[in-house]
Chains A and B, each alone.
Chain A
């Protein structure tokens, strides 16, 4: 038996979580280093996965399969296609930066009980989330996926509710109330979505008799598993709803601005760049493969919702006064692009969407983490409290600008490629939607540049006059992310090479071909 690489990649951060949580209260710094060490080791394993993965090989590689709960027909089945590999790599890359960026976020403020160890808890929870996300990306058993899809809510919930920004414009008491409100809202939205999915998971089992993604998809493809149209549609809706809450898609998005606004910047990155990707990833992997007919049936509605997300998210981002909420609404807009790319049912659209997931993760991480550094210096999330920062802290302002430009998809930075692919992919099949979606880019330019202008340019506000520039630790977080953005912006081929074969497979599952050019069709 070969070495279970995927299991190791997922188990390592889980072990790290336990080890970090077990560090005694006084050895806070040791806990941080331990967490960083484990996240880096996980990254090494993820790179091993990337190396071992052969883009032109079998559809699912590095597969593992063990009996788990025979009574329910549940198997512990892992396997990755190109899309999953890309996202596992993204997760593993981002977590060390999140750990590093959140280095001081969980230092205890007041002396509570001697056994109260928030720092250990913070880093342990981050690693726990990483473990669960990796399992979700690798699971090819629907039940296994579901378990970790749901279970990751709990550590996320504690991360959002338990840790907030140091200083808050309304005082700590209000902050605590808002934080716990955001955490509860996050949990209830996702739990409700998840429970509806549970009904659909059970329904799928009743129809198909097992939970294996590969078996069901195969049986669907060769016609040996026939679903009534209405059954398929109901099951699709059950799955899609859960993923649309997680992604999040308008009108199920309202938890995201609260969660991202109240959580610390690294946790906000964890939410939007890592955890939410499970939602869009699952649409590709589960909705399209298990319910191809229903997916096609739902396409018009989903596309319209995605379009609303793009425009609505961007419009609300323009109107935000709070930096973190602005990034949250921008993310909603971007998730609209991703979902649009997935459901455009063209190979460019889906490749673009997958690439978008990776790029959005990196670019949002860059922007949000720098924003977090900025906020931690001034102690306010309000845009109006800043001004002229670029004169005081030029490096901070510069990295913030690059993060912002990536968010608005400037050519030369990674998100441009993916956004372009998504738009082209959508345009070939749904020109009107493609055209309207383009306005999202214009709005993106508006909200990022206005944000930059108000905070970084102009006269130096007295409160920011003494603001220190980025420290070494902070630079270590930002510089590699920006390097990645530049690299993938100029040379996206490594990612597209891995992703494209998987996308072709998914396309063949839904039996969609790319639309031929107009001229040929006219013949």
Chain B
């Protein structure tokens, strides 16, 4: 891993006296970077499509570009994995900026598949009745028009659609692909911003309930900006501590095994206060993205306000990317600090599990309920993170893969239940759904049972993997708390099932829209993955197990 020892940023600073010609020409492993590059390229093509393709043709052009890009990027990930990256070899690419190893590839694959399924829900145009003869999707006709204004009406009448969502989605995916693979702190930060900014925008684009959507976006943006600032501050302090942005270098300094320390830095580095505060701030930023208590406040508002397809995609893919980055920071950069961060993470995990489960009980809106459930799930995943064993890594990887498809599927079902005002997300609207549309209710029940971790669903396999890793890693009390909060959480999942199947439907209740094959396939994939990972998880557990080693 000699590549990691050379880093353009600090080598230049240290050898300022040397002639400028000594800087190596940047080396860039296009093959190993191909998944990210394909997605970024497609996103840029998407921007060009917006600029040059006639409005009528944009939707199909964007769909084509996005689907091809995501599929190609996934194929690239598979090709890399088949080539042995992640299992038999690992590389650090792009001058030490990107790690190409098992966890990175596994998570990139998961993100790409989740994005592909999420894309289908983005592209759904059959749920709302056609406005003025034009099919409409879940996004505002024209984001810039003020809600309720004449210009909005004009935009709707003209049949505008915000096809920008496709390149935005691709940019977000590109950032997410880099985030868990980032191997130095600056790349980490850039990736964080690259995937966060499009998400802020996407949150504001709901066609119905636009004010709520914009409010959600502002909240998300403000709090996200705070979190980013903390992250950046933490990065600065860590740089001050280690004199490097590179993960491997910082880890060496933490271990005390760093050699060839530059004399100019030797006096100032190694200050433990910088390390602890810096690491704390950095991890805090990541916990914000994960939605862990006490950094979870944004989750319910944003999940509720954002257009539901965005919520589903965000809930799944952001979590995957952020947990990937968190794992890498804790396992690669800060293993030497294990005894300091483990107690803190214990506390965070316990509080996250309990708060998520308990507060969810009082929710009356299905999207908020799923938001709190996602908080509780973040707590379960944290239990696996704390294990600090290879099993811990692979259990988290498996859980994330299982969880993301359940989540996208569940939110896709939410988009189907509608009344005159758009989606009917109040729980009372869901009463008796099982009588009206047994199939939709049954599918949603499968997702809820998976969330609750009932055996024979992917949720159980994931939960078991995580708890087993935690117990083996010496965190038995966490398992007990996890089990208790699972029991609490089961209550509100069951409550929704009761509502759907055992309550009388309201006379003027919502109807279930008949979706196009796009949403059907998104939900179908969700159900299939949920059941396959529940009944026969062996292959995927194997995959996650082989992918469980980080490169340093």
A residues neighboring B (CB under 8 Å): 67-72, 112-113, 115-117, 146-148, 150-151, 153-154, 157-158, 161-162, 173, 176, 179-180, 183-184, 187-188, 191-192, 195-196, 198-199, 202-203, 205-206
Contact = CB atoms under 8 A, between A and B. Distances in A.
Nearest to A67: B538
Nearest to B480: A199
B467 interface: yes
Given A202-B479, A206-B472, A188 B494 contact: yes
Contacts of B338: none
Contacts of A179: 502
20 contacts: A68-B538, A71-B541, A72-B468, A113-B436, A113-B437, A150-B460, A151-B454, A151-B455, A154-B454, A162-B502, A176-B502, A179-B502, A188-B491, A188-B494, A192-B490, A195-B484, A202-B468, A202-B471, A202-B479, A206-B471
Contacts of A191: 452, 487, 490, 494
Chain B, interface SS category: helix
A493 B456 CA distance: 39
B487 A161 contact: no
Contacts of B471: 202-203, 205-206
Given A150-B455, A203-B476, 4 more contacts: A153-B454, A184-B494, A191-B452, A195-B483
Contacts of A205: 468, 471
A69 B487 contact: no
A408 to B, nearest CB: 36
Given A198-B483, A199-B483, A180 B538 contact: no
A198 B454 CA distance: 11
Contacts of B538: 67-71
Contacts of B486: 195, 198
Contacts of A113: 435-438
B503 A180 contact: yes
Interface string B424-449: 00000000000111110000000001
Contacts of B449: 154
Contacts of B472: 206
B14 to A, nearest CB: 46
A192 B452 CA distance: 12
A151 B498 contact: no
A116 B158 CA distance: 41
Interface centre among A162, A188, A198 (most CB of B within 10 A): A198
Interface of B: 435-439, 449, 452, 454-456, 460-461, 464-465, 467-468, 471-472, 476, 479-480, 483-484, 486-487, 490-491, 494-495, 498, 501-504, 537-538, 541-542, 545
Interface centre among A158, A162, A173, A180 (most CB of B within 10 A): A180
A192 B491 CA distance: 10
The 3 A-B residue pairs with the shortest CB-CB distance in the complex, in nearest-first order:
A71-B541, A180-B502, A147-B455
Contacts of B455: 146-148, 150-151
Interface centre among B452, B504, B538 (most CB of A within 10 A): B538
Given A72-B468, A113-B435, A196 B541 contact: no
B489 to A, nearest CB: 10
Contacts of B456: 147, 151
Given A71-B545, A161-B502, A117 B438 contact: yes
Contacts of A67: 538
B542 A71 contact: yes
Chain A, interface SS category: helix
A93 to B, nearest CB: 27
B102 to A, nearest CB: 15
B273 to A, nearest CB: 38
B479 A195 contact: no
Contacts of A116: 435, 438
B435 A69 contact: no
B498 A161 contact: yes
A206 B475 CA distance: 11
A151 B450 CA distance: 11
Contacts of B476: 203, 206
B501 A158 contact: yes
B479 A199 contact: yes
A187 B494 contact: yes
A486 B492 CA distance: 47
A202 B471 CA distance: 7
A339 B495 CA distance: 33
Contacts of B483: 195-196, 198-199
A395 to B, nearest CB: 36
Contacts of A196: 483, 487
B468 A183 contact: no
A70 B464 CA distance: 14
A198 B452 CA distance: 13
A112 B501 contact: no
A206 B464 CA distance: 12
A117 B439 CA distance: 11
Contacts of A68: 538
A113 B480 CA distance: 44
B533 to A, nearest CB: 11
Contacts of A188: 487, 490-491, 494
A69 B437 contact: no
Interface centre among A68, A69, A161 (most CB of B within 10 A): A69
A109 B284 CA distance: 56
A111 to B, nearest CB: 11
Nearest to A70: B538
A67 B537 CA distance: 12
Nearest to B479: A199
B550 to A, nearest CB: 19
